[in-house]
Amino acid sequence: MNYHIIRTKLASAGIDTADLEARILLEDIAGIPKPEFFFRRDEALSEAVAQRIQAILDRRVQGESLGRILGYRDFWKSRFYLSADTLEPRPDTEILIEEVLRDHPSPQSILDLGTGTGCILLSLLQEFPHARGTAVDKAQGACVTATENAKRLGLENRVTVLNGSWFDPLPADSQFDVIVSNPPYIPSAEIRNLQAEVKNHDPILALDGGDDGLNPYKFLCSNLKKYLEPHGIVVLEFGAGQENDIARIVKDSGANLIRIANDLSGHPRVIKFTYGDN
């Protein structure tokens, strides 16, 4: 077995990211360092490594994502470990990080609502070494995983992880410079149409946004102002085709829209706004 064989097996199972996944398997399972990949990708693998990779391929072609099989996913600059209660971080969510970095020079306090693995908050804390973060998630298992990821990244002293629904676990008078969230946004009836690797492996609490997929945005936007410093910013991720509805919900809440940013495929994906002067 070598790179081309792995790649071909993945591609013939209809996996669009066959190149990338074959490369991850060679780097992570065969232990080929990234800089040596192009010189060593054709070398034959040992029997033991080939067997491990074959076992992963067997699960992968059955519709489990590579991240779920390996138990981690790389996001922004770090590796985030997953559990049954966490969404697998997606590359498009990195746009949210870019939008916070774009024009907020040095927030002191960041709130992440629905933190999952903690990938958004922990990545932002790595970028803003003087900031402190608060992560909230309704799933207790997600809170455990986010806490473990914070420890692995040496950020545990700058993070408070709270278990509960949205604003409920926050002290009443808390206010933040930056509030971020990638809430669940799939309309309930559409969940059964999602790819197997999503609907069978990502937790339902991380996906289900209610009848129209917009319930979390309506609830968040009717409460955000109270928890935001006067010149603070909010950055929210949303789903495909939701930009007009989200912009309306945001504006109806009295916010000033700063920008809607596109994802890696060019589709609107992230909205940034403030309740202060724009």
Instruction: Measure the CA–CA gap between 146 and 82, rounded to whole angstroms.
Output: 9
Instruction: Measure the CA–CA gap between 250 and 272, rounded to whole angstroms.
Output: 9
Q: Between 57 and 122, whose beta carbon lies closer to ligand SAM?
A: 122
Contacts of 210 (CB under 8 A, 6+ apart): 187, 188, 216
User: Looking only at residues 16 through 45 of this chain, which bind ligand SAM when binding is defined by CB under 6 A?
Assistant: none
Contacts of 230 (CB under 8 A, 6+ apart): 275, 276
Instruction: Measure the CA–CA gap between 217 and 183, rounded to whole angstroms.
Output: 8
Structure tokens at 11: 């591609």
Pick the piece of the chain touching ligand SAM (CB under 6 A) from 4-12, 34-42, 135-143, 223-231.
135-143
User: Going residue by residue from 54 to 93, which x/- string records binding to ligand SAM, judged by CB under 6 A?
Assistant: ---------------------------------x-x---x
Size (the chain), residues: 278
Please select the residue that binds ligand SAM; options are 67, 107, 133, 184, rule is CB under 6 A: 184
CB of 93 to ligand SAM, least distance (A): 5
Q: Check the CA dihedral 225-209-112-234 and report its sign.
A: negative
Please select the residue that binds ligand SAM; options are 7, 21, 76, 116, rule is CB under 6 A: 116
Pick the piece of the chain touching ligand SAM (CB under 6 A) from 55-63, 180-188, 191-199, 268-276.
180-188
Instruction: Measure the CA–CA gap between 165 and 136, rounded to whole angstroms.
Output: 7
Please select the residue that binds ligand SAM; options are 182, 242, 253, 274, rule is CB under 6 A: 182
Instruction: Measure the CA–CA gap between 159 and 145, rounded to whole angstroms.
Output: 13
183 part of the interface to ligand SAM, by CB under 6 A? yes
134 part of the interface to ligand SAM, by CB under 6 A? no
The count of chain residues that interact with ligand SAM, using the rule CB under 6 A, is: 21
Q: Between 7 and 90, whose beta carbon lies closer to ligand SAM?
A: 90
209 part of the interface to ligand SAM, by CB under 6 A? no
Contact 178, 233 (CB under 8 A): yes
Residues in the site for ligand SAM, rule: CB under 6 A? 87, 89, 93, 114-117, 119-120, 136-139, 142, 165-166, 182-184, 205-206
